[in-house]
Amino acid sequence: MGDVIRRYGPAILAWILFVFLRPGPAPGRRLVRFCVLGLAVSQTALIPAVRDLTRALGVPSIELLIAHLAMVGAVWAGAQVLLRLHGLPAAARRYTAWALAGGAAMVVTFALAPNVMPQSPFVMEYCIAYAVALLPEFAVIGRLCLQDARKAPDRILRTGLGLVVAGIVAAAAYMVIRTVIAISARAPFDFDYGKGFLLSKALPTTAHLLVLVGVGVPAVAGLLRRRRQYRRLGPLWLALYRAEPAIALEPPRTTVFPTRLHLYRRVIEIRDGLLVIRPYRTGSATGERQEAAEILAALRAREDGLPPLSPEMTVQGGQDFGSDTEYLCRVADVFREISRRPAATVP
């Protein structure tokens, strides 16, 4: 069972994460998905079924080249995300050229090698080219992730970045070990210790899992936070929708995993609804509880057909989308609480 998990677990986890990370217009998001796709392809190419398929097709060992090139692409994408976030476009271009040169060297040495036996010609050169293509990218990813982890205010983000750093360190150690093993096959020294289960099997699997979990933790946390906010806003949105259905692009429906667009629309539609009932409000709220009470009173006044008051009001809320969403969530929490009371008891 443990061997099955080791062989198939990272590939399955990578594909799940790839599906979970929905496409978006932001270049950084596309690069993150490309990184996860590279990890998924790399791990999938190494499963026994793919190896058997390449042998049946008469191209044995080609899955190794596919897996390694996919890994180079994944690591390149990860480095690009961080370099661009840190405003280092020149370094991003240099690392792109480095990855392309390393990949080309891998293809050439793989084509020249008669087989993948360690002692065969060009196998050592292939392993060195693979390590040279990856290790500088590993270094920049580890350095920038560690730098960001120290500054990140969010505990979940720090945890995710820390796991990525740990995975990168494990992957770099594995690459050095595999390269030394490849050199030892044609050099007058042995490195049998590196061929044991812990360093040759467990270490790379651990590295992949750490990176995938590190990438997935912030994404999953963001999804859960978005879902919680979407549900908290539900009662307030529904009350405003019933008062004025025109605020919504779509009628109420169940959304299990809301996207960023779903949450954004819900916040905008609540703001539109608050503008609709604004003439029925009695004054400017100074906190979430008073805001919720005034919203409820305005909705009831409008429903009862009372004349608008049209007061001058100050709009309460956050300074950006994130803070405004949290503010409306707190208002919605109070609104849900007081809307269940009889009208006479609402403050």
pLDDT score for 287: 79
User: CA distances (Å), 190 to each of 118, 123, 182, in order?
Assistant: 13, 17, 10
pLDDT score for 236: 93
In angstroms, what is the C-alpha Rg of the chain?
28
CA dist 140 and 119 (Å) reads: 32
pLDDT at 104 over 70: yes
37-62 pLDDT tens trace: 999 999 999 898 998 999 999 888 99
- Per-residue pLDDT band for 345 (boundaries 50, 70, 90) equals low
Which residues fall within 8 angstroms of residue 158, CB to CB, at 6 or more apart?
Answer: 149, 152
- Per-residue pLDDT band for 279 (boundaries 50, 70, 90) equals confident
pLDDT score for 310: 62
User: What string of H, E and C letters represents the secondary structure of the chain?
Assistant: CHHHHHHHHHHHHHHHHHHHCCCCCCHHHHHHHHHHHHHHHHHHHCCHHHHHHHHHCCCCCHHHHHHHHHHHHHHHHHHHHHHHHCCCHHHHHHHHHHHHHHHHHHHHHHHHCCCCCCCCCCHHHHHHHHHHHHHHHHHHHHHHHHHHHHHCCCHHHHHHHHHHHHHHHHHHHHHHHHHHHHHHCCCCCCCHHHHCHHHHHHHHHHHHHHHHHHHHHHHHHHHHHHHHHHHHHHHHHHHHHHHCHHHCCCCCCCCCCCCHHHHHHHHHHHHHHHHHHHHHCCCCCCCHHHHHHHHHHHHHHHHCCCCCCCCCCCCCCCCCHHHHHHHHHHHHHHHHHHHCCCHHHCC
pLDDT score for 205: 87
CA dist 98 and 79 (Å) reads: 12
- Per-residue pLDDT band for 261 (boundaries 50, 70, 90) equals confident
160-207 pLDDT tens trace: 999 999 999 999 999 999 999 989 888 888 877 777 878 888 888 899
pLDDT score for 172: 94
132-150 pLDDT tens trace: 999 999 999 999 999 999 8
Mean pLDDT of the chain: 87
pLDDT score for 218: 84
Task: Give the mean model confidence (pLDDT) for residues 267-290.
Answer: 84
pLDDT at 28 over 60: yes
- Residue 195 exposed, middle or buried by CB count within 10 Å (0-12, 13-18, 19+): middle
- Per-residue pLDDT band for 69 (boundaries 50, 70, 90) equals very high
CA dist 206 and 6 (Å) reads: 9
Lowest mean pLDDT among 10-24, 225-239, 299-313: 299-313
284-293 pLDDT tens trace: 666 788 888 8
The CB-side HSE value for 324 (13 A sphere, CA atoms) comes to: 15
pLDDT score for 188: 81
Sign (positive/negative) of CA torsion 92, 96, 97, 98? positive
pTM: 0.74
pLDDT score for 344: 47
Which residues fall within 8 angstroms of residue 227, CB to CB, at 6 or more apart?
Answer: 256, 257, 258
Q: Which residue has better confidence, 14 or 195?
A: 14
CB 194 within 8 A of CB 200: yes
Give percent of the chain with pLDDT exceeding 70.
Answer: 93
CA dist 281 and 313 (Å) reads: 9
pLDDT at 313 over 60: no
- Per-residue pLDDT band for 82 (boundaries 50, 70, 90) equals very high
Lowest mean pLDDT among 45-54, 102-111, 335-344: 335-344
- Per-residue pLDDT band for 79 (boundaries 50, 70, 90) equals very high
pLDDT at 5 over 80: no
pLDDT score for 9: 83
